[in-house]
Amino acid sequence: MPVNLRGKSFLTLKDFSPKEIHFLLDLSKDLKSKSRAGIRGTLLEGKNVVLIFDKPSTRTRCAFEMGAAQEGAYVTFLSNSQMGKKESIEDTGEVLGRYYDGIEYRGFKQSLVEELAEHSGVPVWNGLTDDYHPTQILADLLTIREKIFKPFENIKVVLNWDYFETLLCSAQQPKTENPDRELRWKLEKLKSAAKIVIKKLKQLEISDREYQWKIEQLITQSNNVIKILK
């Protein structure tokens, strides 16, 4: 059965089936090969795309802007929008949906990009929120597929300290009426992973105290966040 993702927003990979994710990877590989061969695409010819950035970026902005331009789209970059300030997210979504054929958002709350998708009437792509960065993960999966010739389920991935810090920063929020059980589970997993790293460091007699201190801080912060979420 063919895959049809026309008009679908890209807010998190969890919204896609494995078949759809593999389809996106195949498409990405094809577009990448054409770009390297100097073949200019026309998939977005005559389309208008707006990039809304509430968080600064280098690679994400360049990737979206160049990717859209290479396929023929006109791109507007917006870093000073009044969305969520003087103008509601609902109203902004409705207005931008009339002007543009697609919206990319990079910012903070996941609920914001979801509300934008709900009211815009056009595809919305998540360029990073405090909870998810699906386009980055898709790019990572493409690189893994290109470099490691194994099924995904047989590949082990190491997460570095930057990921730990990002997740912890996004986790330290006031207690809500509906605690995020998934986030609590992630923190428990991260804490377990950190303990394993400390154990390995001691076994290898590695004396990088600063690195070990950071991981011990991770465990402490994880415990604090888990208490908040309970």
Q: Residues 6 or more apart from 31 whose CB is under 8 A from it?
A: 41, 67, 71
136-145 residue pLDDT tens:
889 988 998 9
Q: pLDDT class for 203, splitting at 50, 70, 90?
A: low
Instruction: Report the 10 Å Cβ neighbour count for 44.
Output: 19
pLDDT tens sequence across 50-109 = 999 998 889 999 999 999 999 999 999 999 888 888 889 999 999 999 999 999 999 988
pLDDT class of 197 with cuts at 50, 70, 90:
low
pTM of the model: 0.70
Q: What is the pLDDT of residue 155?
A: 82
Residue 171 has pLDDT above 50, yes or no: no
